[in-house]
Structure 1
Amino acid sequence: MSNLYISRVQIEGGFLDGLDVSLKRGLNTIIGARGTGKSTFIELIRYCLDVKGHTVESNNKAISHAKSVLSDGQITVTICDGSETVSYTRTGESEPVPPINRDLKTPLIFSQTEIENVGLTSSGRMKLIDDFLSGLDTIRQQEYAEVAIVESYASEILSLSSSVDDIEEKLLMLPKLREEMVLLELEEKKISGISEIAKTKSNDLNKLSETYFNLKANTEKNHKKIEAINSFKGYLNSFLIGKQEMEAWVLSENPSDAEICDDLNSVSNYITSIIAKFDSLMNDVSNDLSGLQNKMQDVTKQGQVLRSDIDKIQEGAGELARKRQALQQSIINLENVKINNSEKNVKIFDLKSKRDKSLKTLCEIRKQRSDMRVAKCSELNQALKPKIKVSIEVANRLDEYQQVLINALKGGGIRYNDIAPIISASIPPVVLIDILESNDLDGFTSLVSISKDRALKIINSLKQSTDKIATVLLEDEIKLELLDGSEYKDFTSLSTGQRCTVILPIILEHKESILVVDQPEDHIDNAFIVETLISSITRRAKDGQIIVSSHNANVPVLGDAETVIHLNSDGTRGYVIAEGGLDDINIVCSISNVMEGGRDAFNRRAEFYGK
């Protein structure tokens, strides 16, 4: 639907119960004394069509007011384009039925308070301009989609970069491990030389073992000799003992055989000499055995020393081999990690390329919106000059950027409220991303005059929010000025009346939207109403519908209203007294009585002005 206008408003229940009025394409004026429901009429239209307020506060206030005056009733607003009509109905507890189509260009609605205050905030001034522009929803959807893509890339880059940084710290050990490996290899060469010594000692030990076994064999032979000598001596001593018995027997039995005793004595002496020789031999064998045993002890001690030396050499070689194996495995693992890190760096580079491409697209989308705003501001300047000046500073608002920095710095022991404004004013987000990703400490301190220690702490804190920093919106700033004498004054320094004289002409430049304004003449003088406001209304009425509630007769009369609706109230509800065009006698009477103080008052003023 195009060339829309509100053709009918019906209210059931609540303060305006029973109201049913028809509206025209041009200027429609709602008149009546205070408390008759003029503002309520406008706010119920806003509520039914789900038109948001220009600030969060005004939006909440409008919804609360509408629900209160509607009570358990409902409002129906019919929108027409000349051939097709759609009626929207809403109760105090429901959403509009049918749902508001996103493509529907809903009315621009301004309460008296919004007219006075909408230009005091950056967001309010921006909304004044954006309300003129079509296609912003599409741009906003494209922007959100691209932001999501950029943040996704940035998050993946951050995750991979953190992993790479952690591994890079471990890789710092690789040169040291390689140095240790060189030292171990030198130790191995030394061990190789020592092994020759161990081999020699082993040969010596083998020889000692052979000597030991030879000594042991000789010792055993000597033990056997001693056993044999002792055995032989036993035999000989047995004879000597038996000799006495033999002598006694011979002498007692055969005294004549005394020669036998002599022979026995001779044999006994000979045996005694043999025993003496055996004793001498025993002494020699014992001495030889003692010598052999001493030699065995010496050989054993030498063998123990050699075995200890050999064991130490072998133990050192084994420990060295184990160390070398463990060190070699660590080096291999780190080299594999290094390869993996290289692959991650390649992936990071690829992700950054994709992210930067998406960032470029995001910047182009935002530039498209800014270009539309610049063009609109230029158009408004042409229409409203020289009295009113509308200018734009592209990407000049830093509040969102500052908040992203503050959120990132919280909890890091940093005075974020002091440093965030300095960073946002000194380093654009794109430059800051490059600094963070390259750990460019010098670059950071060249732009922000702080110590390197503090800068490093800030960089480490901000790294975790590169996704938000990359996509943060530097919003445009709209500046409104009013020519006061020979100088332009900024909007924020104007009085309430002066602010209205700036906002109303801007609002009335909307040519294609339904415009609904509540009591625009408050705080402004009749001269401005006649010279500026009325001319804007009459010029615009040819292009689009205007619905205005007013106390000033100049608005409907000089504005050539198509329809005037006169509301009254009995204190409990508001109702329509008269409805029609300026040629309707009832409307003439209503305007005279409500807005001019009656016909007599009007005639007296006319007489005064005619003097």
Structure 2
Amino acid sequence: MADILAEQDGPRASHKIRRLTVLGGFWDGLELDFAAGLNCIIGARGTGKTTILELCRYCLGQMQSTDPTRQLQLTKLIKANLDRGTVEVTIETRDGMKYRVVRGSSGEPEVSDERGSPVEVSLSRGQVFAADFYSQHQIEDIAISPRAQLEVIDQFVADEIAGLDPTRRDVISQLEKNSADIHQLRQAIADREEMLGEIPEIKKRIEALDVGGEQADDINREVALKGARDQEKRMLKRADDTLAGVVDQFEGLSRMVRGFGQLVERSEGENGELFERLHMVLEAAGNDAVGAIASARKIVEGARLSVEELDRQLTEAHGGQEQRYTELLRAHQDAQAQAREGARLQTRLNELLEQRRSVERRRKELLELTKKRGELLDRLSELHDKVFVLRQKIAREITSRLEPDIRVSITQFGERGDYAERLREALKGQGRHYSTLVGRIEQNMPPRELVRLVERSAVSEIATTLEVRDEQADWLIDRLRGAEDGKLLLDLEALQLEDRPKIELRDGGTYKDASTLSTGQKCTTILPILLLDSDRPLLIDQPEDNLDNAFIYETVVRNIGEVKARRQLIFVTHNPNIPVLGDAEAVFVTESDGQHGRLRTRGDVEQVKFEIEKILEGGAEAFLERKRRYGH
């Protein structure tokens, strides 16, 4: 991986927002063409500057927020300002591809090429195009949210993480199915095992039966043979059921491969011939596969016919054998009751033995699933390790760029809030003080280790690790095993603890966690990180909020000057230092009559210096008064 945050000597390829157009609503008729460097949106308060950024964010499908209240606020803002109109954003990827993204007040973003032809491009995962949006006060929120801090760090290695995400999602999906299958198998085994406890008792009762009389051996043999006939019918039914299931699977597989030809559409672009060949390859593969499946199905259906014929022959044979059994009992009426009881017990024993075979098959399946689960968990852990290495590298690079004032570190698996919450839910309401116990588990025992010890009933080991009595450890094991019918342990085992970032600011010679700082210090800590190099446009609503002018000049403006040649910046601001000292390539001046917003003018700093002076500095008189007071 290249040093994402290393100092750059010149421009590099980056994503850009080229144009914003709005039809309908508060900003009806708005057209903004953004520069590749620094863009500033200025205007009096209440002229809808913030709405411009939020419409852009909405159009690109980046409105999602982990805070439900914030999400509701954004949704209301868009609904109120867009009404039934549409917003269109033209974007350019770092590869030079241009797309038009259109979105109405409802529905999802629709993407087309420069000519307006729809294209199958998704913006949801940021793999084609991504931008970083930060609303007013969101910078402060980042300082107190480890999850938000992690998102900021991940943005610097978004492509590398995105490359791992499909595999991670696939492994997690497989794990979820694996958990469901294991839980279902365990339940099925548990349900049948209780019945299997009857087997020894039934065998004893069969052995204890005493038919008596001179024909006792013949009667006992016939009773045994009757039991064997019952078992034979069960074996044939098992074979037929299995073959029937395979035929059903063939039917589903045939439907799937018949659709190979529809996996791709014929392309109208320059590569149409290539896709035509691909379509032919897939259709041919589907036809060949259908033929192969039909041949295999014919073989299995032939086996079913043979089973049916054997079943007919067996039924015929059983008929004569049952008649012999009935005649023997009729001749020895004194033994009929004992013989019938023996036959009943033998039939019940056969049922239980069939269940035992079913349990044994399920246990083998369970072993395979458990082995597969271990492999999936190891694979997921490896993928998480790779993500952690990426995050750790970025944390070090951020620190090297911003030290000694700011430093960033990452603790692997340090975010354990979800883990603790699952444990609290499982243990609450038990009449014990479980909060302390949950805290000790959270700090000293990762989920997979906890599950391993609970499943082994390792009372002493758990008690020693958690520094509790054996009685409490035994209670913990019993409670966790029974929680959610045993599913909790599966969920805990697959729970992936998230990494936890720590961002600190040097204050008075010591480093302090960003979450403990004052509002101004929080922004002082986070904003320089957001302003580091990236290939994603950075859009911030009033980055100067809660910052003093000295910091804006010394840090914000200096960083803008360094990064704007390599990263597009779009700021809504009330601070003149940002557009003037940042030498903005484009300044957009807004105004409003209270019902609609309007772009009053646009241009570079020189072209709109009168508006900057009037709106942001207070006008020429304010300049003269400051000169009189300060002497310069």
Report the TM-score, using the length of structure 1 for normalisation.
0.70
Write out aligned runs for 1:138-537 (5 A): 138-169=163-194, 184=208, 340-406=358-424, 420-440=438-458, 443-448=461-466, 449=468, 450=472, 452-453=474-475, 455-461=477-483, 463-537=486-560
Q: 2-side partners of 1:418 and 1:317: how far apart?
A: 69
Alpha-carbon deviation of 1:580?
A: 0.8
Q: Secondary structure at the match of 2:414?
A: coil
Is the alpha carbon distance of 1:41 and 1:347 closer, same or farther for their aligned partners in structure 2, counting shifts above 3 Å? closer
Q: Secondary structure in 2 aligned to 1:375? A: helix
CA gap of 1:606–1:6, structure 2 versus 1, over 3 A, is farther
Structure-2 change in CA distance of 1:330 and 1:53 (3 Å):
closer
Indicate the larger mover: 439-448 or 454-463.
Answer: 439-448
Per the alignment, residue 581 of structure 2 pairs with 558
> What's the offset of the Cα at 1:538?
1.1
Q: Does 2:55 correspond to 1:26?
A: no
Separation of aligned partners in 1, 2:460 and 2:353: 31
2-structure distance, mates of 1:337, 1:438: 27
Q: Does 1:61 align with 2:73?
A: yes
Find 1:588's aligned residue among 606, 609, 617: 609
Q: Which moved more, 1:424-433 or 1:171-180?
A: 171-180
Is 2:35 the partner of 1:17? no
Q: 2:138 aligns with which of 109, 114, 122?
A: 114
Distance 1:167 1:441, change over 3 A: farther
Contact 1:519 1:549 in 2 (8 A): yes
Instruction: Quote the offset at 1:26 in angstroms.
Output: 0.4
Whether 2:93 is the aligned partner of 1:70: answer no
Worse overlay, 470-479 or 415-424: 415-424
Partner of residue 247, structure 1: none
Q: Which amino acid aligns with 2:156?
A: F
Task: Map Cα deviations across residues 410-430 of structure 1 (whole Å, 9 max, x no partner).
Answer: 898988777655544443221
Q: Is 1:602 aligned to residue 623 of structure 2? A: yes
1:348-376 superposed Cα distances (whole Å, 9 cap, x missing partner): 22221111111111112222222221111
Q: Is the 8 A contact 1:42 1:516 kept in 2?
A: yes
Distance (whole Å) between structure 2 residues aligned to residue 588 and residue 168 of structure 1 = 85
Question: 1:180 and 1:496 mapped to 2: Cα distance?
Answer: 81
Q: Structure 1 565/29 Cα, relative in aligned 2: closer, same or farther at 3 Å?
A: same
Partner of 1:44: 55
Counterpart residue number, 1:104: 128
Alpha carbons of structure 1 residues 341 and 18: separation in structure 2 relative to 1, 3 Å: closer
Deviation at 1:503, TM superposition (A): 1.5
Distance, in Å, in 2 between the alignment partners of 1:411 and 1:317 is 60
Q: Check 1:515–1:331 CA distance in 2 against 1; reply closer, same or farther (3 A cut).
A: same
Do the aligned residues in 2 keep the contact of 1:445 with 1:455 (CA within 8 Å)? no
Q: Secondary structure at the match of 2:36?
A: coil
Alignment check: 8 A CA contact 2:202 2:345 kept:
yes
Instruction: Out of 543-552 and 119-128, give the one that drifted further.
Output: 119-128
**Partner SS, residue 396 of structure 1:** strand
Are the structure 2 counterparts of residues 165 and 441 from structure 1 closer, same or farther at C-alpha, using a change threshold of 3 Å?
A: farther
Deviation at 1:554, TM superposition (A): 0.9
Structure 1 residues 419 and 494, CA, compared in 2 at 3 Å: closer, same or farther? Answer: same
The 8 Å contact of residues 20 and 33 in structure 2, kept in 1 or not, is answered as yes
Deviation at 1:5, TM superposition (A): 1.7
What secondary structure does 2:415 align onto? coil
When Rg is computed on C-alpha atoms for both structures, the one with the higher figure is 1
SS in 2 for 1:394: strand
Asked if 2 retains the 8 angstrom alpha-carbon contact of 1:115 and 1:504, the reply is yes
Worse-matched range after superposition: 30-39 or 135-144? 135-144
Seq. identity, %: 31
Q: CA deviation at 1:72?
A: 3.3
Segment drifting more, 65-74 vs 173-182: 173-182
Unaligned runs of 5+ in 2: 1-11, 113-120, 217-331
The one-letter code sitting in structure 1 at the alignment partner of 2:151 is K
Matches of 2:433 and 2:341 in 1, distance apart?
50
State which of 555, 562, 566 in structure 2 corresponds to 1:543: 566
Q: State the superposition RMSD in angstroms.
A: 3.5
Correspondence 1:85 to 2:98: yes
1:521, CA displacement in angstroms?
A: 0.7
Compare the two structures and name the one with the higher helix fraction. 1
Decide whether the 8 Å contact of 2:23 with 2:87 is kept in 1.
yes
* TM-score scaled by length of structure 2: 0.68
CA-to-partner distance for each residue in 1:160-189, whole Å, 9 max, x for gaps?
A: 33344455555556666777788x49x99x
The amino acid that maps onto 2:91 is I
Deviation at 1:459, TM superposition (A): 1.7
Amino acid at match of 2:514: F
* Secondary structure, counterpart of 1:601 in structure 2: helix
CA shift at 1:464, angstroms? 2.5
Q: Tell me the amino acid that sits aligned with residue 400 of structure 2.
A: Q
- Does the Cα contact within 8 Å between 1:55 and 1:124 map onto a contact in 2? no
Q: Which residue of 2 aligns with 1:231?
A: none
| Shift of residue 441, structure 1, vs aligned partner | 5.1
| Cα distance between partner residues in 2 of 1:53 and 1:175 | 62
**Contact 1:150–1:470 (Cα < 8 Å) also in 2:** no
Distance 1:599 1:420 in 2: 64
Deviation at 1:107, TM superposition (A): 1.7
Judging changes above 3 Å, is the alpha-carbon distance between structure 1 residues 181 and 35 closer, same or farther for their aligned structure 2 residues? same
In 1, Cα distance between equivalents of 2:565 and 2:378: 42
Whether the 8 Å CA contact 2:427–2:434 is kept in 1: the answer is yes
Partner of 2:262: none
Quick check: 49-58 or 574-583, which moved more? Answer: 49-58
Corresponding residue number in structure 1 for 2:251: none
SS of 1:371's equivalent?
A: helix
> In 2 relative to 1, CA 329–75 (structure 1 residues): closer, same or farther, beyond 3 Å?
closer
Whole-angstrom CA distance in 2 between matches of 1:437 and 1:160: 17
Secondary structure of the equivalent of 1:542? coil
CA distance in 2, matches of 1:461, 1:158: 12
Give CA deviations for 1:314-342 in whole Å, capped at 9, x if unaligned. 99999888887777777776666555544
